[in-house]
Amino acid sequence: MHRMKKSFTLVEILGAVSIFMVGILTLSGLIAYQIYGAKTSTNRVIAAYLAQEGIEIIRNIRDTNWLKNQNWDINIGATTDYRLDYKSRKFPDTNYSSCNPLRFDGQFYNCSQGSKTIFSRKVSVSKGTDKMEITSTVYWKERGITHSFSVKEILFNWKP
């Protein structure tokens, strides 16, 4: 019998090519995910500071209440609302009809002026005796997926 020189069959070639393709696709997927992750981490940092702003403003309203010798929790509603920005003197800020999403006026993120941003901020306040719990959550959308960043703070009526 002749010793025939073996060549690759079509199946073998298809097998090799598909294994190769799987490798390539995995790698390119990995790189795409890397870029996406970098973008998400960027927005997370921005969201973290916007969320902090929500807490600080509620705290500022409480401190102002003390300075004005009025009830410590006046102007802070025990509710969940989006209407609160860096100028707000009460929560929810009824000067605005809505605040979802936050707008950017060229200098500041706010509720009423400028173009819409991808961020929105939801603030929740729940009250106990001489104590309130504030949760500030910033949401943003990326490629159709909604992400969020949340911070929580408990304020007390410690001033005699």
Partner 1 sequence: MKKSFTLTELLVAIGLTSLVSGAILGIFLSGIWAQRRILATQEVLDQASYVLEYMGRQLRLARKDDLDGKSCLHGYKTNCEVSEGGRKISFKNFDGKCHSFYFQDNKIVEKKEDFFNPLPLTSVKINYLKFKVSGETQQDTFQPRITISFEAETKEKNPTKLKFQTTISQRNLDVVY
CA atoms within 13 A on the CB side of 26: 6
SS3 135: strand
Residue 78 interacts with partner 1 (CB under 8 A): yes or no: no
**Considering only 37-45, 71-79, 91-99, 137-145, which stretch makes contact with partner 1 by CB under 8 A?**
37-45
Residue 20 interacts with partner 1 (CB under 8 A): yes or no: yes
DSSP state of 3: -
SS3 17: helix
How far is the C-alpha of 38 from the C-alpha of 123, rounded, in Å?
Answer: 27
Q: How far is the CB of 131 from partner 1 (least distance, A)?
A: 18
Phi-psi category of 143—alpha, beta or left, where left has phi over 0 and alpha has psi -120 to 50? left
Residues 87-126 that bind partner 1 (CB under 8 A): 87, 104, 107-109
Output 75 or 100, the one with its CB closest to partner 1.
75
Give residues in contact with partner 1 (CB under 8 A): 5, 20, 24, 27-28, 31, 34-35, 38-39, 41-42, 45-46, 49-50, 52-53, 56-57, 59-60, 63-64, 66-68, 86-87, 104, 107-109
